[in-house]
Chain A
């Protein structure tokens, strides 16, 4: 059971907009800790997609955006492309667990 909760799967057609939620609690996202997002393709290492809630590393298309509110965060992908089909993970910090970075369980994005 992950500390951060994500939907197991989401899907969308090419060109559409999808969002992936990441729900936490008062000891992590709700406490004001930043949320970061990673993209992972099968058999490869995760890649940073969003850091500090809303920031994109260089090279990440502006089709990807992050937001958060209260005890939840969201990753939005607009103009969905076939190459976006991957697993997505949120990550934050939890102050109820010493030194603990925490991840969401991951969301599989399927492009229909």
Chain B
């Protein structure tokens, strides 16, 4: 069974940093593109960042570009999101999500979807 377990959320001051982790199991981690998606309280879903299976390709929403860094450790089946210069509007539940591997290569494809999602971890940016 595929499992994604996020951790690292909590209360952080504006301008501060936070690191989120997502522990994956139940599938060959390196074969899959992985993403972070967030949801502000009472709001809709917002794509944050995506990383290819090898880690060589990274993609960011304009709202986080230059402040967030996505990375992965395939030897530990772990996805990470380093968040710097946090702002109040970064307050959200952050979900990690697995993307399909149609050819087992971990290649980024535009038409990918998210399945499954982790349970999410809440990041609150407030003084």
Contacts of B108 in A (CB 8 A): 99
Contact A2 B119 (CB under 8 A): no
Count of inter-chain pairs, beta carbons less than 8 A: 66
Interface residue range, chain A:
20 to 34
- Contact pick for A48, options B60, B111, B116, B118, CB 8 Å: B116
Chain B residue with minimal CB distance to A99? B59
Contacts of B47 in A (CB 8 A): 91, 100-103
Interface: B106 (CB within 8 A) = no
Chain A residue with minimal CB distance to B49? A99
Spell out A's residues near B (CB within 8 Å): 2, 33-34, 36, 38, 40, 44-48, 51-52, 57, 89, 91, 93, 95, 97-106
Spell out B's residues near A (CB within 8 Å): 35, 44-47, 50, 59-62, 95, 100, 108, 110-120
